[in-house]
Structure 1
C-alpha cells in the first residue's frame, strides 16, 4: 500500500507521476492500493482534466469527521 498524505497539495505533475508509477506496477503485479489523504477539496484537485486517468481509478471515498 502506498499512502499519499496531503495529496491535495501536490502539483498536477506529481499526481500524474503517482498515477504513472501505479499503472506501471499494475502491468506486472497484483493491484497495489494507493490511498490519497486530504481534505474534501482533493476531489476538485482530481477533477482537473489532466488528471482524468487518475480520477477514473478512484473507487472509494471515505470521509472521517471528528
Structure 2
C-alpha cells in the first residue's frame, strides 16, 4: 500500500501484517506519530516506543486526532 507523504509527522493508526496462522494473515495496529525510515519502512512512535514496519506489510493507514 502506498503511504501518502502528507501523513508523515502526523498521528496515525496503521494496520500491518505480522505473520500467518493456519494459512491466514495476522494483523496488528500501531497508533502514534508516523516517521519515514528510508524507502522500505516507516516508524510509528507509540506510547510504548517506536514500531518499525516494512512498507510492504502495511494494509491500512489513516490520520487520527491527537
Higher share of residues assigned helix:
1
TM-score by length of 1: 0.38
